[in-house]
Structure 1
C-alpha cells in the first residue's frame, strides 16, 4: 500500500519526489525563498502556484503555504496563504485577513495572481478572493515557511509553476532530486529546521486512507 499516491478525488496530488520543509522546535525557523525581481507593468500578470500538504503544527505563529512579496505603494508588502494548524487557512494582505474553511488532511494547490491593481487567491482552481490594490510596481520574491521561531510544522511541496503574462517561465517537481526553484532560503536560530527532497511515498498517509487500507488489507489477507 505504500505505493498509493497521496491524493483523493477532487484534491491535488503529491507524486514522485517532493520537497519536505520543516521546523521541529521553537529555536529555529526556515523560509523557502525564490527571488523574482521583476518590474510589473500596467498589462503584466504574475502568477505562482504550488501543491502543499501541511501537517504537525503547534505554536502561535502562522506558516506561509505560499506568499508573494511585492513593492506596493512604494513599500514592501506580502500577500499570502497562512495556516495555524486547523481545518482553515487565512488569506492575508496589508490590513486584510479572511478565513477559508479547508480540509487540511489532504494536499491542496494554492495560486496567487498579481497585477498592478489586484491580487487573486485560488485554492484547487477556485477563486477564493480578489482584492484591489493601490499600485504594485515590482514582484520581489516568493516565500514559503516561517520567518520567526514561534511555530512547529511539516510542509510537503510539489508541482511549483511560475507564470509571467500567461507563459510558464519556471517549474519544479523535484523529481531529479534537486531544488532548482527555492534557491535563496533563510535559516534562523540554532535548532531543527530545514529542507530535504524525499519520495512522496514517505509522506505520512492521510487519515482518510486508514479505513480503506485496513479493508484492503483484510481482503488481501483472506
Structure 2
C-alpha cells in the first residue's frame, strides 16, 4: 500500500481534525476571556474592537506563508498531516527539517521510496520533536523566570547579558541568509524583507498604520521576490 493512500484518507482527516478543533476552540476561549477581562479593568470597547481587527489583519498575511508551506509539503506528506503540524506549534523552519530527519531515520533518501512505516516514523519525529518545547516550558519556565528576576535585581550584568543573548539568537538565525550566496532564494527573501521593513519603519512616523503591517508587507515582498527569481 502506498503511504499517501493513508495520508490522504478520511481516517487521517478525522485524526487531524480533532486536535485542530481543540486548538480553534482554545483560541476562541482565550479571546472571550481577554474581552471579558478588558471590560472588567475598564478598557474602552472601541479600543478592544480595534485591537481585535488589527491583530486579525496582521495575523492573516504572515499565515499565508504557512499556507504556502503546507501546500508545498502536501505532495510528500499528504493533505492533512501538514495542516495539523502547521496549525499546532509548527514553524516554517522546523517542519521540513524534521520531516527530512524522519525520512533519513526510516532509512530512505527520497519520499518516492518511502513506505507506510517510514511515514509513521516521520510523523513521530515531527510531533515528538516539537512537543519537547511546551513540556520543557511546563517543567522549567516558572523556576527559570523566578531565578532570572531575582538575579537581575542583584546583578546589572544580567540585564545586558540576557538582551545580548537574545540579539545573538536572532543574529544566528538570520545573518546566514544574508551571507550565503549559494542559496539564492533565502538570500533574496532576507534582503528584500529587510529593505521593505526598513522602508516601512521610515514611513511609520508619517503613516502610523504602516507600523502594524510592516512585518506582513516584508514577508509578502520577500515571497514575491522569490517567485520572480524562481
TM-score, length of structure 1 as denominator length:
0.22
Structure having the higher Rg:
2
Q: Of Structure 1 and Structure 2, which has the larger fraction of its residues in strand?
A: 1
Q: Choose between structure 1 and 2 for higher RCO, CA contacts under 8 A separated by at least 6 residues.
A: 1
Q: Of Structure 1 and Structure 2, which has the larger fraction of its residues in helix?
A: 2
TM-score, length of structure 2 as denominator length:
0.21
